Chain A
Amino acid sequence: MVRAIRGAAAVLLALVLLPACGGGGSGSAKKVVVGSANFPENQLLAEMYAQALEAKGITVDRKFNIGAREVTFKQISSGGLSVLPEYNGALLAYLDKASTATSTADVNAAVKAKLPTSLTILDSAQAEDKDSLNVTKATADKYSLKTIDDLRPVAGQLIVGGPPEFKTRQQGIVGLKSQYGLEFKEFRSLDTAGPVTVAALQKGDIQVANLFTTDPAIVVNGFVVLDDTKNLFSSQNVTPLINKAAVDATAQGALNAVSAKLDTTTLTQLMRKLAVDKQDPDKVAKDWLKSAGLV
């Protein structure tokens, strides 16, 4: 019995490892390291970038699901990563808490000014994915909530949930207090707008949740997105952040081509395929790149 199990384990590992032997031998070309933050949409975008680069014959190393921007930015600055799918508004808020730029053009100009010399951003896609505050329909009805301002009188009774970094971000609790005057009863660290946060909002463990606007869970669960009247969350166009030394002109061209074809409707549809239809990120990426003529 023990021998049989040992044999099975060895066979399984062999099956998994052997195919790699044949396909090995990476070229001497420079490797581009594509990273992603720790939520599925970012992983999908990174996978799209990776496949677009590979279609141009570039060798890609994937380092996905790393962590929050607070972690990934350090990695790309130090050269550990070459490409990251970023959101221009959030990136600007990270680089400069005091910035008031809101339009895509202004935000991008401000970002370029604030980035260290080793980094730059490429063209922004039209597609946007913003942070947002969400409540259940029941909560919205109970307190007559339509915009984030409507939260001010009742915030003290409500628990807000989001990723740990939301608490210390300008485009987070800090900005909600300074721009909207919101003081919540409690902030709960959950995950990056993922299953934990959605479940907490559904169950009522939290009353307000930080979710991303392209997340199908909002529509599926009938959550109400509160209007960001003061544009705290500004423009959030999907924009490739690159380490200049690692990304040559061909690679930049490939990434810009992806951005040119990506709009919010498309991104939302792709997220549905990922989250609702449960398709794999690499399949969703491949199908879309093919239909857009990019691979």
Chain B
Amino acid sequence: MDWAWVGGHVPLLSERVREHVPMAVLPVLFGLLISVPLGIACVRWPRLYPPVLALTSILYALPSIALFAVLVNVTGLRTATVIIPLTLYTLSVLLRNVVDGLRSVPESVRQSATAMGFSPLRRLAQVELPIAAPVVIAGTRVATVSNISLVSVGGLVGLGGLGQLFTDGFQLHQTTRIIMGIVLTVALAIVAHGLLVAAQRVLTPWARRSTGKAKP
């Protein structure tokens, strides 16, 4: 392990991290943007759910390396080649969480909201989604950590990010590069995980207070 190398190559490591982060985070944002409305639709029209779920399950099983390899010629050596497949993966993780979260809203709560005069839209926004939030954020955590690891697969086909430290290190026979790639990937995952836990606390302050709350 060559610490001197690490000290002298901070800009390189910095660039790899800066390449890596958008490729991991943007798919989560896009995934949320798609899965929340889609999940709401699946709850509203339950017949929709099994086929959509099956489709996303198949998407999840697709090996990321194959998707990157196929897309390189379409979207080139840009981040889009990584973002598109990872958005599909995130979608397949989050859809289940959104649907489960919405379905976990107790019927009594839903009816109380209606009784209080909430329109369906307002009920969705102010009652159902907030209650579903912890489950959705838990899924977002899983998807984010997963993506951070998956982006490194892109390095095998020249798509940059921390994965390139692995391929360069392998070809140049330099374990320091590979180790730093692993360390930084894990550090990113830890920080992302921590940020999302904090976000959950901020977005659902009521969850902390109630200790006797029945788990969904």
Quick check: do A and B touch in the complex, using CB within 8 A?
A: yes
Chain A contact residues, CB within 8 Å of chain B: 5-6, 8-10, 12-13, 15-17, 19-20, 23, 35, 38-40, 43, 63-67, 71, 74-75, 78, 80-81, 191, 194-195, 274-275, 278, 280-281
Q: Are B15 and A194 touching (Cβ within 8 A)?
A: no
CB atoms of A19 and B14 under 8 A apart:
yes
Given contacts A17-B17, A17-B18, contact A63 B158 (CB under 8 A): yes
A40 to chain B, nearest CB (A): 5
Q: Report Cα–Cα, A88/B148, bound state, in Å.
A: 39
User: Which residue of the partner chain A has the closest CB to B190?
Assistant: A9
Interface residues of B in 4-18 (CB under 8 A from A): 5, 9-11, 13-15, 17-18
B binding-site residues for A, Cβ under 8 Å: 5, 9-11, 13-15, 17-18, 72-73, 76-78, 155, 157-158, 160, 164, 167-168, 170-174, 183-184, 186-188, 190-191, 194
Q: Is the CB of B167 within 8 A of A278?
A: no
Question: How far, in Å, is B69 (CB) from chain A's closest CB?
Answer: 9
The docked-state distance in angstroms from the alpha carbon of A57 to that of B66 is 39
Could you tell me the distance between the alpha carbons of A13 and B170 in the complex, rounded to whole angstroms?
A: 23
Contact B171 A15 (CB under 8 A): no
- Give Cα A281 to B172, complex, Å: 9
Q: How far, in whole Å, are A195 and B171 apart by their CA atoms in the complex?
A: 7
Once the chains are docked, how many angstroms separate the CA of A281 from the CA of B5? 12
* Residue of B15, B17, B78, B174 touching A13 (CB-CB under 8 A): B17
- Cα distance A38–B170 in the bound complex, in angstroms: 11
Pick from A20, A194, A280: contact of B5, CB below 8 A.
A280
Cβ of A227 to closest chain B Cβ, rounded Å? 28
Contact B18 A23 (CB under 8 A): no
Known: A12-B184, A65-B171. A78 touches B76 (CB 8 A): yes
Instruction: Give the complex CA separation of A281 and B157 in angstroms.
Output: 20
